């Protein structure tokens, strides 16, 4: 052998010997010696305690599934026992994650391509504790060590990381949150045998191709001071890292009286591509969903709904949740539509369209501070649990329940709602409700709010400025062509009437309840009624005992035709004063003067009648109506006698109000409306 050949042989021999030595050293090396270095390095990088407190070792094994010569390359299998990851200093608990044992394997040849490839990791009894304190400090946000400016100048690493599968025998996650009043434990177990997606989620064509369910989970504890329980199933790691195979999700969760059921999939999970779910939820009141979802919804009777939820996380304006083509009910009212919730800035926004084929008006009672209808007792109990006491005084009639304007500023809204048929009562059918609700930074606008009533329509605009303290409110209401025989269908004599009711009201006030708004209100109310009827029996039907007394004093037990009733009221600081309040009947003119105070709910009215022609009315003194709305009192004034012609003299001073009220008569009704002649005579009075 030549000298050169000998040198090459020696070099190859020394190299192979070095490889053997390295293999022997690695195979026999006590890896536990590296634990202090590893523990210190990881603790420094994560800014929290980390420790491998048990055995750390590596074993080598050929991967016979590799092709050709690659099957002879040994793969390292790493194991570590008794692993603990601690919490940041702001969290009093000692550990965040505890693992009894971790096993993993590394593909060595992938390192040549600058890729850290771990085909599988097996966790033995993983235990995690997620904690958030009342100061909003949590342990799942990591403050990684390093200089931010230096990190910003670093170029992207040429190395990549790939993890195919995570396996574990049983996992447990505890979640304690002082902000959301939560203390929940979730236990996750392998199913043992994969469950096909279609078996649990159904054959929704939008979700075909989702992976099988691999793990099952159960949850128990409390959330938002309510008992929470739930169970469901999820997919495995292989589908979790896939960009093309949807990750399956199935859950059934109860929190207090609220139940949420979902079945569907998550697309591109590692990049939060989006959710495609069938969502069903139910409960005692929609308001309870605020604690679970952050979506501001009104207090309602019991509800249930079923629809299709599509979530897009990577949207420019923020994550978007669309609940489309849902069907359900609120109380005894059906509800259908599509809603979109966007988590944008400066506030999230709810937008969409809702409709109801049959709406029960009592189901809307809690929206305006009235406890009425089925489920109102549950609504009161739900309010009590949330610390919202009943604020309605026993001696008051006007609603004193407070509007929760603080919640109004948590979300914006742009929602259109329509209802074909409205169930209000047997005696007053409503129909064709439509409103467009816009909520912007606590400013609530209903424009328009309109519906059909008694053969006519009521059209209004309501604005409540909840971003001001106290709240400012304004209402513009216009009633047209309300048919008297439909308003009072129980009055047989009224069924032959062709009369109608028209009116306008414009009021503005301040305060956080209906009572407060009226107590400070300014504005005016105008009303015209023609071709009506008045009698004691009518007063009994509508429940006006004082009116029953007054009508009895004026007309006895007879039914009396009303040619025209006209009212023009001026309201200042909650005090309504009659500029004109007159009934023109077939036998007399009835003039009403005085005031009504919305602040203290008291009235002080005088009723002055004057007979036409033959004196039918024998009363020689005016009547009075005084006292509170809740307990009014009526009687005959003991002092002054009625001066003959007093009513006529009074009508002579109402030229301006009479002219204003003429505008309430539609030109098409001018010939048939008896108020036209009465008001024209008042207007021409000198």
The pLDDT assigned to 294 comes to: 65
Has residue 671 got a pLDDT over 70?
A: no
Highest mean pLDDT among 147-151, 387-391, 664-668: 664-668
CA distances from 177 to 227, 291, 494 (A): 14, 13, 64
Gap between the Cα atoms of 385 and 351, Å rounded = 29
* Tens of pLDDT, residues 242-289: 777 888 999 999 988 899 999 998 888 777 778 899 999 899 888 887
The pLDDT assigned to 221 comes to: 94
- Between 634 and 520, the higher pLDDT residue: 520
Gap between the Cα atoms of 166 and 241, Å rounded = 11
Token pair for 306: 């079923």
* Tens of pLDDT, residues 81-114: 999 999 988 888 888 999 999 999 988 888 888 8
The pLDDT assigned to 507 comes to: 95
Q: Which of 385, 417, 386, 416 has the alpha carbon at shortest distance from 404?
A: 386
Please give the model's pTM, rounded to 2 decimal places.
0.70
Q: Which of 444, 436, 175 has the alpha carbon at shortest distance from 296?
A: 444
Highest mean pLDDT among 74-83, 239-248, 490-499: 74-83
- Mean pLDDT value across residues 648-659: 52
Backbone angles phi, psi at 156, to 5 degrees: -55, 140
Gap between the Cα atoms of 52 and 35, Å rounded = 7
The pLDDT assigned to 253 comes to: 93
* Residue 682 and residue 651 in contact, taking contact as beta carbons nearer than 8 Å: yes
Gap between the Cα atoms of 389 and 384, Å rounded = 6
The pLDDT assigned to 560 comes to: 79
CA distances from 142 to 128, 145, 218, 669 (A): 15, 9, 27, 75
Helix, strand, or coil (residue 365): helix
Count Cβ neighbours within 10 Å for each residue of 104-142 and write b for 16 or more, e otherwise: bbebeeeeeeeeebbbebebbebbbbbbbeeeeebbeee
Has residue 385 got a pLDDT over 70?
A: no
The pLDDT assigned to 187 comes to: 95
The pLDDT assigned to 541 comes to: 64
- Between 417 and 492, the higher pLDDT residue: 417
The pLDDT assigned to 174 comes to: 94
Phi-psi bin for 289: left (phi > 0), alpha (psi -120 to 50), beta? Answer: alpha
The pLDDT assigned to 471 comes to: 92
- Between 626 and 395, the higher pLDDT residue: 626
Token pair for 357: 């084929």
End-to-end C-alpha distance for the chain, whole angstroms: 144
Confidence of residue 53 (pLDDT cuts 50, 70, 90): very high
The rounded radius of gyration (Å) of the Cα atoms in the chain is 39
* Residue 225 and residue 184 in contact, taking contact as beta carbons nearer than 8 Å: no
**Planar angle of CA 328, 334, 339, nearest 5 degrees:** 55
Gap between the Cα atoms of 515 and 507, Å rounded = 13
26-35, 174-183, 267-276, 385-394 — which is least confidently predicted? 385-394
Gap between the Cα atoms of 118 and 557, Å rounded = 97
Confidence of residue 678 (pLDDT cuts 50, 70, 90): low
Count Cβ neighbours within 10 Å for each residue of 585-623 and write b for 16 or more, e otherwise: bebbbbbbbbebbbeebebebbbbbbbeeeebbebeebb
Gap between the Cα atoms of 454 and 503, Å rounded = 14
* Tens of pLDDT, residues 198-225: 766 655 444 556 788 888 999 999 988 8
* Residue 210 and residue 203 in contact, taking contact as beta carbons nearer than 8 Å: no
Mean of pLDDT over the chain: 80
The pLDDT assigned to 272 comes to: 74
* Tens of pLDDT, residues 531-581: 877 777 777 666 676 777 777 777 777 777 888 888 899 999 999 998 888
- Mean pLDDT value across residues 20-35: 68
The pLDDT assigned to 23 comes to: 58
Using CA atoms of 575, 580, 583, 589 in order, give the dihedral in degrees to the nearest 10. 120
Has residue 370 got a pLDDT over 50?
A: no
């Amino acid at each position: 052998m030549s000298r050169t050949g000998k040198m090459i042989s020696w070099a190859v021999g020394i190299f192979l010997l070095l490889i053997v030595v390295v293999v022997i050293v690695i195979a026999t090396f006590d890896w536990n010696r590296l634990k202090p270095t590893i523990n210190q390095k990881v603790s420094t990088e994560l800014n929290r305690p980390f420790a491998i407190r048990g055995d750390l070792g590596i074993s080598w094994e050929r991967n016979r599934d590799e092709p050709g010569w690659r099957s002879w390359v040994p793969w390292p299998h790493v194991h570590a026992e008794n692993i603990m990851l601690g919490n940041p200093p702001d969290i009093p608990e000692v550990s965040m994650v505890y693992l009894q044992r971790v096993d993993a394997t590394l593909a060595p040849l992938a390192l040549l391509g600058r890729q850290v490839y771990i085909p599988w990791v097996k966790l033995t009894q993983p235990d995690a504790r997620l904690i958030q304190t009342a100061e909003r400090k949590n342990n799942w946000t990591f403050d990684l060590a390093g200089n931010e400016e230096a990190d910003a100048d670093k170029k992207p690493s040429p190395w990549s990381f790939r993890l195919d599968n995570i396996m574990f025998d049983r996992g447990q996650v505890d979640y304690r949150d002082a902000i959301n009043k939560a203390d929940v434990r979730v236990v996750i177990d392998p199913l043992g045998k994969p469950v096909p997606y279609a078996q649990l989620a159904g054959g929704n064509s939008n979700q075909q191709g989702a992976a099988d369910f691999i793990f099952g989970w159960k949850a128990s504890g409390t959330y938002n001071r309510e008992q929470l329980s739930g169970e469901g199933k999820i997919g495995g790691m292989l589908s979790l890292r896939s960009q093309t195979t949807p990750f399956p999700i199935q859950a059934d969760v109860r929190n207090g009286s609220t139940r949420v059921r979902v079945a569907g999939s998550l697309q591109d999970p590692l990049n939060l591509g989006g959710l495609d779910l069938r969502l069903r939820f139910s409960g005692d009141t929609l308001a309870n969903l605020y604690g679970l979802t952050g979506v501001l919804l009104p207090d309602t009777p019991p509800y249930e709904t079923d629809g299709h939820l599509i979530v897009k996380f990577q949207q420019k304006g923020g994550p978007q949740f669309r609940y489309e083509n849902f069907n359900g009910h609120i109380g005894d009212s059906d509800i259908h539509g599509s809603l979109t919730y966007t988590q944008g800035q400066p506030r999230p926004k709810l937008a969409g369209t809702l409709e109801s084929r049959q709406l029960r008006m009592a189901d809307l009672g809690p929206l305006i501070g009235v406890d009425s209808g089925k489920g109102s007792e549950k609504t009161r109990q739900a309010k009590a649990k949330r610390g919202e006491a009943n604020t309605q005084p026993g001696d008051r009639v006007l609603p004193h329940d407070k509007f929760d304007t603080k919640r109004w500023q948590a979300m914006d809204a742009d929602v259109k709602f329509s209802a074909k048929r409205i169930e209000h009562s047997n005696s007053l059918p409503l129909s064709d409700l439509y409103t467009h609700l816009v909520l912007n930074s606590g400013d609530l606008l209903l424009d328009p709010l309109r519906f059909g009533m008694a053969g006519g329509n009521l059209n209004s605009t309501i604005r409540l400025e909840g971003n001001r303290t106290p709240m400012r409110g304004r209402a513009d209401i216009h009633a047209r062509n309300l048919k008297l025989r439909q308003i009072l269908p129980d009055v047989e004599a009224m069924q032959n009437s062709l009369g109608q009711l028209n009116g306008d009201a414009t009021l503005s006030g301040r305060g956080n309840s209906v009572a407060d708004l009226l107590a400070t209100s300014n504005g005016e109310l105008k009303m015209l009624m023609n071709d009506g009827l008045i009698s004691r029996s009518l007063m009994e039907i509508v429940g006006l005992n004082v009116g029953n007394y007054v009508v009895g004093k004026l007309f006895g037990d007879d039914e009396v035709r009303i040619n025209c009733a006209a009212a023009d009221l001026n309201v200042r600081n909650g005090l309504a004063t009659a500029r004109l309040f007159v009934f023109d009947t077939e036998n007399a003119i009835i003039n009403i003067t005085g005031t009504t105070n919305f602040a203290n709910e008291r009235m002080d009215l005088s009723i002055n009648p004057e007979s036409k022609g033959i004196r039918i009315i024998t009363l020689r003194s005016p009547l009075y109506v005084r006292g509170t709305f809740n307990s009014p009192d009526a009687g005959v004034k003991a002092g002054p006698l009625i001066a003959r012609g007093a009513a006529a003299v009074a009508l002579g001073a109402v030229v301006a109000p009479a002219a204003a009220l003429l505008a309430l008569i539609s030109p098409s009704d001018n010939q048939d409306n008896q108020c036209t002649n009465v008001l024209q005579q008042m207007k021409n009075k000198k």
